[in-house]
Structure 1
């Protein structure tokens, strides 16, 4: 019970609201993929078309280069996330100076050193989650490359010795899963910006979470890119 009193009631309410907004939006976005109304769902359809076209090509050098290029994005973000986590760990060692700096910012909340460290740990937990999603996305792209490399020659598909649709569906779905996992990591980056507002006030933290969700919704459900790629 004493641990619960470290944070004030507004802090707890803002933190619960933040978690509800993040998990609720992730759940809603994942369900919307089934109705093909999100940017990820539409691009997944293009990924399956791409893999279907790959079954007609021989050799598939271009497709391998594309998969390698796609995997470079989660690799870059995973490396960047490690640097951020290291910086946050270093900041935990100098929380007194960091807390004094935050206190000098106008409208920043005046909190104890322990509360400041808890807020840093929450930010760090978000980036740890993002790191795991990015590294898992890298591995999924590796699996997709294995499936692409194991595809029979185009002539075998033409002769009916191999199932063209089955290979294309499996490879396309695997690339789509890697993209979805990468999207989870990017979403964590977005929501990490909302946690920065927590250092100012719980209300700013709650508003920041709602703003991030609105920005993500606009990009995934109502962007120009989505309208362009949709059939």
Structure 2
């Protein structure tokens, strides 16, 4: 149960922990909020907003793809979970799996199912919010008033940033879904894969070339 406690703590506390480490900057998720806000302010002052709709539509298609893939994985995990004694015997026959009882096996699969289900809900919420964003882009009036453009862009960003944050949480669910699945290989593997997944996520958020480029771009937008 200690391994499960480690997983749950890291899974549920990952995002608050990342925000605390970043303190408002220095990670992709927070730096991108500034870049998206700049995008929306530029969009509000642009005559032709076709490109903005296309860019957001591409992200919407990506979210729909991930949601569909997630649903397939959920169906597979649910099939195993509700497969009864036959599914347990088939899994127990594999030497690499460490599951001592049917109850433990069902809890292990249920955890995978739970992580995937949470990710699916995040994708669905992201898709809904992105559709709202498309309406906001389409409704943006032509205006030469710079103050109005900035205000409209900031409000649009307040809608877009939560949408993309939900999308990011959905993608992150795959990492934790893989970590949850590693419990089938024993508690030690469970802890090690969970720690590795979190370390990989943090590294990509803070130390990857993409993170450094986005950090520099944020500084440029903010004027240093």
Return the TM-score normalized by structure 1: 0.86
Distance in 2, matches of 1:144 and 1:32, equals 29
* Unaligned ranges ≥5, structure 2: 217-224
Partners in 2 of 1:27 and 1:199 — Cα distance? 28
> Which stretch of structure 1 is more off in the superposition, 86-95 or 121-130?
86-95
Please, which runs of 5 or more residues in structure 1 have no aligned partner? 1-11
Name the counterpart of 1:63: 52
Give how far 1:52 is off. 1.7
How far is 1:140 from its partner?
Answer: 1.0
From the CA coordinates, give the structure whose radius of gyration is larger: 1
Pairwise CA distance, 1:92: 2.5
Q: Which of 205, 211, 216 is the equivalent residue of 2:196?
A: 211
Contact 1:102–1:199, Cα closer than 8 Å, also in 2:
no
Deviation digits for residues 155-212 of structure 1, max 9, x if unmatched? x2x246x611111111123222111111111111101111121111112111111111
- Asked if residue 44 in structure 1 is aligned to residue 33 in structure 2, the reply is yes
- Evaluate the alpha carbon distance shift between residue 33 and residue 63 of structure 1 in structure 2; reply closer, same or farther with a 3 A threshold: farther
Count of matched residue pairs? 216
- Residues 47, 172 of structure 1: 8 Å contact kept: yes
Q: For 1:186, which of 127, 151, 171 is the aligned residue? A: 171
Equivalent residue, structure 1, for 2:219: none
Q: Which residue of 2 aligns with 1:175?
A: 160
Q: Residues 78 and 134 of structure 1 are in contact (CA less than 8 Å); yes or no, is this contact kept in structure 2?
A: yes
